[in-house]
Structure 1
Amino acid sequence: MTKLAVVMTPERADDVISAETRTLLAERFEVSWAADVDPSTVATLAEGSDVLLTSWGTPHLDASIWASGTGPKVVAHAAGSVKRLVDPVIFEQDVAVFSAGGRIAWSVGEYCLAAMLTLARKLPRFDAAIRDGGWKQTAFRGGELAGQQVGLLGASSTARALITLLKPFGCDVVVYDPYLTQQRAAALGVRSASLEETMACPFVSLHVPDVPETKGLVTRKLIEQLPDNAVVVNSSRGPAIDQQALLDHALDGRIYAALDVYDPEPPAFDATTLAAPNLLLTPHVAGDTKEGHLALTGYVVADVLAYLGNGTKGPSYVDPSSWSIAA
Structure 2
Amino acid sequence: MRSVICVHERFDAVWPFAADHWQKRWQSDCCELYRSLEPEARAPHLVPDPAAVQRLVLLGLPAASDDLAPFTSLEECFHSAHGDQPRDGLDEAQSRGVHIIPHRIDIYWGQSVAEYGLCLTLCGLRRIPQSHTAMIGSLEPWKHGPEVGKPGAKGVQYCDDSRFANGTLGGKRVRVVGAGNIGARYASWCSAMGADVAIWDPFAPDATFAAAGAKRRFHLPELVKDAEIFAPMLPLKEDTRGLIGQDLIDALPHGCLVVQVTRALICDTEALYRRVLNDELALAADVFDVEPVALDSPLLGRHNVVHTPHNAGRTKDANLAWVDDQIARFRPRP
* TM-score w.r.t. length of structure 2: 0.73
Rounded to whole Å, the distance in 2 between the matches of 1:155 and 1:86 is 33
1:315 alignment partner in structure 2: none
Q: By how many angstroms is 1:198 displaced?
A: 2.8
Looking at CA atoms only, which structure, 1 or 2, has the larger radius of gyration? Answer: 2
Deviation at 1:125, TM superposition (A): 4.8
After superposition, give the CA deviation of every residue in 1:32-72 in whole Å (9 maximum; x if it has no partner): 31222634325756976633253xxx36x456578969788
The offset of 1:107, in angstroms, is 1.2
Is residue 2:233 matched to residue 1:230? no
Q: Which residue of 1 aligns with 2:78?
A: 75
2:178–2:184 CA contact under 8 A, matched in 1: no
Choose between structure 1 and 2: higher helix proportion. Answer: 1
Matched residue, 2:198: 174
Q: Compare 172-181 and 221-230 and name the one that shifted more.
A: 172-181
Once the two structures are superposed, what CA deviation does each residue of 1:271-290 show, in whole Å capped at 9, x if it has no partner?
5332312111211101133x
- Percent identity between the aligned chains? 23
TM-superposed CA distance for 1:116, in Å, is 0.5
Distance change (3 Å), C-alpha of 1:292 and 1:67? closer
Is 1:198 paired with 2:201?
A: no
Q: Report if the CA contact (8 A) 1:109-1:158 is conserved.
A: yes
Shift of 1:168: 2.8
Residue-by-residue CA offset, 1:221-267 (whole Å, 9 max, x unaligned): 11111112211111111321111211111111111112212222222
- Secondary structure (helix, strand or coil) at the match of 2:329 reads helix
Tell whether the 8 Å contact from 1:125 to 1:278 is kept in structure 2 after alignment.
Answer: no
How many residues align? The count is 299
Whole-angstrom distance in 2 between the partners of 1:282 and 1:236: 13
- Specify the alignment match of 1:189 in structure 2: 213
Find the residue that maps to 2:207 and give its secondary structure. Answer: helix
Contact map agreement 2:23 2:32 (CA 8 A) in 1: no
Mapped pair 1:217 → 2:243: yes
* More deviation, 9-18/254-263: 9-18
Is 2:171–2:194's contact at 8 Å kept on the other side of the alignment? yes
Q: Quick check: 1:5 aligned with 2:5?
A: yes
**In the alignment, is the contact (CA less than 8 A) between 1:208 and 1:236 conserved in 2?**
yes
Residue 126 of structure 1, CA deviation: 4.3
Quote the residue 1:316 is aligned against: none
Which of 287, 290, 293 is residue 261 of structure 1 equivalent to? 287
What corresponds to 1:245 in structure 2?
271
Residue equivalent to 1:28: 29
In the superposition, relative to structure 1, how do residues 35 and 127 fare at CA in structure 2: closer, same or farther (>3 Å)? closer
2:158 alignment partner in structure 1? none
Q: Unaligned 5+ residue runs, structure 1?
A: 312-327
SS of the residue 1:224 aligns to:
helix
Distance 1:89 1:161, change over 3 A: farther
Corresponding residue number in structure 1 for 2:169: 145
Q: Deviations over 1:127-173 (max 9, x none)?
A: 56655653336263442111322222222212233234334302232
Q: 2:302 aligns with which of 272, 276, 287?
A: 276
Which amino acid in the other structure matches residue 212 of structure 1? E
Equivalent position amino acid for 2:317 in 1: G
Distance 2:263 2:139 in 1: 37
Match of 1:105 in 2: 110
- Corresponding position of 2:149: none
Moved more, 42-51 or 22-31: 42-51
Moved more, 36-45 or 199-208: 36-45
TM-score by length of 1: 0.74
Q: Decide whether aligned partners of structure 1 residues 251 and 98 sit closer, same or farther in structure 2, where only a CA change above 3 A counts.
A: same
The code of the aligned residue for 2:251 comes to Q
1:20 shift after superposition: 6.7
- AA at the equivalent of 1:270: D
Q: Helix, strand or coil: the match of 1:280? A: strand
Report deviation, 1:215: 0.9
Change (3 A) 1:259 1:22: same
SS at match of 2:300: helix
